[in-house]
With several copies, the nearest count.
Chain A
């Protein structure tokens, strides 16, 4: 075991995969200098400029070229720099990468990883802070993952690279420097499998990405008041681990979904709706979601704070659900 940040773990995972498989390459802006978050540090020196490619500011072509390169036997790792800039390349991701295999009747696969550094960080305001995972889950053909720990950042990156599907990997900007113990081998983490981050009998709290840490803190606070919360970190959003969620809620009979993204039409709606449809008749309390208000993300801290969910609100919601 070793202490590693998400950035260190993801960097090591990518380096490991590139060492093993010469068809893996990465493309994006400023990768030669290590990438915006250091997640490519040293890789150009090690693997050369042909495999760690500094691109022009041409998001549409970064993504479009990756589609062609993926169809032709390579595994591109596409760096979108900030998830919001991926909006300059949506045709390429949604109309091309996600659909090519199907439209061509299985003649081609598109094994690429689109890395989207998501979420609020450093008060970057409305065009650099969005969390749009719900969009990508809605698109047939895409796998979507959103790790929250160094082990998962590394393990899901490995699995995403090895996966033959286009994967949108949502890496939270605020977690790059988050450190935790990891198995130094950084084993791949299977796509589609949730992690039970905390056992509990009273309520199932489903979450992913940075909100996992908020969920665990709130669960600890709830434990101090005698409520035992089970925290499930989905890790992969498509396919999401229905079995784990439904199994847990079958036991706890209470569901809270917590995520950073806007609540309206967020991915929490899918989880809540599915649980309500499937287990609605056995629930001890109505399903519940906590997400951001439907507002653009402001720059000034007191205004940005409105977008963030704090531990007190999570705790109060848990207590409301369990104590009625």
Chain B
């Protein structure tokens, strides 16, 4: 959203106080770090330093930031192929995340996973996933384990609009409702599954209706407004923690770049892209911060700090060694692992 046209409204502004301002600034920081990370990752992919496929979440940062701001370290997250933002927002070390994209030994997965399998179990980030919708039942099961072990915590599963057409999504909704599991389903609806528009492949009224039909109450929110996401996630998580039963958050958002960093988006017009870039969650929140009296300098300092942190992470990742090749035979299985035949 171009800054001149931003009209921040809603409950956040009315009762604005210091705590709220601090929270919005924290969101801004989270989103700026994700943005800078994604830009650097895409650049490194173009340079051939990051391999495989990179799926940037630029434009969608408010969903990761707004949801994860409401999570404790012991809460759990499962993610998708587009998982850098969730990883950082959940508190994973940025440098180790970048190192994983570079395939280095200092990466969270020692370079075994790469972008599509990024994970940091130490902060409850249980993994990106290369298979659409596959993280959903994993989160549901993780929540079931928490419940069985009488541990506190919720499991949040992020997934795209495209994932809502796969069977495991529905099965998991029914399962979580049935067993009253503390799960927050978060549909990041960017309107596209790869190069195909969601409306071309999804029938019916949408993810929220699908959730409710399986017994999971749902809410839809503007996923480009981090405060709105924060508020909705807070409310749903409070319901989950109080009732022990699941909820779904449907966040409408925008993917600024292509499906992967090398997708030129020939299937979207320049006008459409320009329009969608107007819903930039970072610019929108910046405008809101300004309206609340935050100085321009403070806001640019946030972006600059993020840029600096990411640049350092890239430099470190670039310099770091790969794991030795015998690592390819480790971490497979205790019994019968590491055998050639």
Contact = CB atoms under 8 A, between A and B. Distances in A.
Interface string B101-140: 0011001111111101101111000110111111011111
Contact of A105 (B165, B331, B340): B331
A43 B168 CA distance: 28
Interface in A20-48: 23, 25, 29-30, 32-33
A74 B196 contact: no
A15 B61 CA distance: 42
Contact of A103 (B113, B179, B333): B113
Counting contact residues on chain B (CB < 8 A from A), the size range is: 35 or more
Contact of B112 (A23, A68, A103, A108): A103
Contact of B145 (A72, A92, A191): A72
Nearest to B115: A299
B336 A239 contact: yes
Contacts of A293: 328-329, 339-341
A36 B42 CA distance: 19
Contacts, number: 290
B114 A56 contact: no
A223 interface: no
Contact of A30 (B53, B195, B325): B195
A124 B115 CA distance: 9
Interface of A: 23, 25, 29-30, 32-33, 50-51, 53-61, 63-74, 76, 84-85, 88, 91-92, 95-96, 100-109, 122-128, 140-143, 163-166, 191-192, 238-239, 263-264, 274, 293-296, 298-307
26 contacts: A29-B194, A30-B194, A57-B162, A58-B171, A68-B141, A68-B142, A68-B145, A69-B148, A72-B126, A72-B141, A74-B149, A84-B130, A104-B127, A105-B111, A106-B331, A122-B52, A123-B51, A123-B52, A125-B113, A141-B332, A165-B336, A263-B341, A296-B332, A303-B322, A303-B327, A304-B328
B58 interface: no
Nearest to B168: A60
B168 A57 contact: no
Classify the secondary structure of B's interface with A: loop
A23 B149 contact: yes
Interface string B275-288: 00000000000000
Contacts of B122: 107
A69 B144 contact: yes
A123 B121 CA distance: 23
Interface of B: 51-53, 76, 78, 103-104, 107-114, 116-117, 119-122, 126-127, 129-134, 136-149, 155, 162-163, 165-168, 171-172, 174-175, 178-179, 193-196, 200-202, 267, 322-325, 327-341
A117 to B, nearest CB: 14
A72 B142 contact: yes
Contact of B336 (A60, A122, A126, A143): A143
Max count, chain A CB within 10 A of own CB: residue among B117, B119, B194: B117
Given A68-B126, A127-B129, 5 more contacts: A57-B193, A69-B141, A103-B113, A298-B328, A299-B111
B108 A74 contact: no
A70 B148 CA distance: 12
Contacts of B127: 100, 103-104, 108
A53 B122 CA distance: 29
A303 B148 contact: no
A110 B126 CA distance: 12
Given A88-B131, A264-B341, A274-B341, A64 B328 contact: no
A41 to B, nearest CB: 12
A199 B107 CA distance: 48
A107 B121 CA distance: 6
Contacts of B110: 105-106
B179 to A, nearest CB: 8
Contact of B335 (A74, A85, A143, A304): A143
B163 A57 contact: yes
Contacts of B136: 64
